[in-house]
Amino acid sequence: MTDRRQAHLIGDGVLALMLTVFAQLDLRFNVEQADHYGSEPVRAITTAVATAVLALRRRAPVATAVCVALASAGPQLFTTLTVQLWGDFLPLLIATYSAARYAEGRRVILGVLAPCAAMTVAWLLVPAVHSTPNLPIMFLPYLFCIAAGRIVRRQVHGHEAARALARRLEDERQESIRAAISEERGRLARELHDIVAHCVSVMVVQAGAAEDLLDRDPDAARAPLRSVQDTGRQAITELSRMLGLLRGAAGGPGLRPQPGTADLADLATHMSEIGLPVTVSATGAVRPLAPGVELTIYRVVQEALTNTLKHAGPAQARVLLHYTESEVTVEVVDDGRGAIGAGTGHGLVGMRERVGLYGGTLSADAEPTGGFAVRASLPLTEPPARAGAAPQP
């Protein structure tokens, strides 16, 4: 903005200098009519003032118009100077345009009336100008400059408003992108937590089992150690897949789709192999679900079974999916010690966030008869958009 103002100031200075030279030459070429135009020193000074002050036509448009008017018409009251020369008439027109273009508020009225008053004085007091044919020659260009100045001002303001709106929309778009990125990072952080927590918990349990068997039955210890290796490979694969998503390589080769209800049987088999027998069943009219709901159900079951493996001791678990017309409910119940807690861990907090994102509810409590139960209900209709939440893929 500062560079533009400096460029405008330089341009106006050049314009004022060119007009000053032109006006003085105009007076010199009309020297044979010196008596008609008055004293040579006076006309040279007033014309120079009227042209030189145009260098400030953008910074002070009203003051410039008043100064030009006084320099052009003031001496008419005492001598025979006239605006009939182009060197004096052009500054009046430029000052009028500048006032109409750059003046703010009601000051524009003073800015455009001052040149009008100067031309009126010249028309009334100078015999060479005071004739009816000269009236349109003087005032039509004046009116044209006013109209041109106001039209250009309106167009420029319209362009500036459009640019401001475009900048605001771009800022809002960038803010929306940043919010979406932040939400996506939070989602991926929850994904990584679920994956790492599950795999590490399985590896810890299996490593402990292998340690117990090393002294009594070294051959039997091979199975849990192999399970630790397999689980470690699974963790690495899952982490690579999530990092691929973070890098925007979701469509690359080797990246599997997000897990869902169809993968619960494989999850149950894996958990059974590492020491937690799990059964999966479904009731109601089984139907395809939205990808986000499918992933939410899978992560809820995975987190609940991981907590059972870590805290419930020797136990069994069952997973039940129940479909109705309006919602799907997932229930994970074990018969262990029931000591997981009432949903204060980070994993259970993440489950509540996932379920709440789709307008569902989640409970995690010890069973009266022993064991622990995690239950989540998710509506099958699209929930209202939650403030600050980005849509899930």
User: Using one digit for the tens of pLDDT, what is the confidence trace for 295-317?
Assistant: 889 989 988 888 888 877 788 89
Backbone angles phi, psi at 139, to 5 degrees: -95, -25
State residue 343's pLDDT score.
45
Q: Which of 168, 73, 198 is nearest to 129 (CA)?
A: 73
Residue 188 near residue 241, CB atoms below 8 Å: no
Per DSSP, 155 falls in state: H
Both tokens of residue 393? 């893929």
Residue showing tokens 């004739």: 131
Cα 53 vs. chain centroid, distance in angstroms? 45
Among 299, 288, 383, residue whose Cα is nearest residue 348: 299
Q: How many CA atoms lie within 13 A of 336 on its CB side?
A: 29
Could you tell me if 186 and 388 are in contact, meaning their C-beta atoms sit under 8 angstroms apart?
no
| R_g of the chain computed on alpha carbons | 43
Q: What's the whole-model pTM score?
A: 0.45
Q: What integer pLDDT is reported at residue 339 of this predicted model?
A: 53
Residue 378: helix, strand or coil by DSSP? strand
Determine the Cα–Cα distance for residues 383 and 117; give it in Å rounded to an integer: 71
Nearest to 194 by CA among 301, 329, 315: 301
DSSP state of 76: G
Closest alpha carbon to 332 in 388, 286, 376, 283: 376
d(CA 352, CA 204): 26
Q: Which segments of the chain have a pLDDT < 70?
A: 1-2, 30-40, 74-85, 87, 123, 125-136, 181, 184-195, 197-198, 237-257, 338-347, 381-393
- 105 neighbors 61 (Cβ within 8 angstroms): no
Q: For 63-92, what is each residue's pLDDT tens digit?
A: 988 888 888 776 666 555 555 567 677 888
Task: Give the Cα separation of 192 and 185 in Å (integer).
Answer: 10
Gap between the Cα atoms of 60 and 322, Å rounded: 78
Nearest CA among 71, 61, 68 for reference residue 98: 61
d(CA 283, CA 324) in angstroms, rounded, equals: 9
pLDDT recorded at residue 244: 61
Amino acid 258: pLDDT: 75
Dist. CA 297–CA 293, nearest whole Å = 6
Q: Strand pairing of 327-334 and 278-283?
A: unpaired
Query: What's residue 85's pLDDT?
Result: 66
pLDDT reported for residue 42? 74
CATH of domain 260-393: 3.30.565.10
* Angstrom distances, CA of residue 349 to CA of 239, 344, 354: 21, 7, 9
Domain with CATH 3.30.565.10 in the chain: 260-393
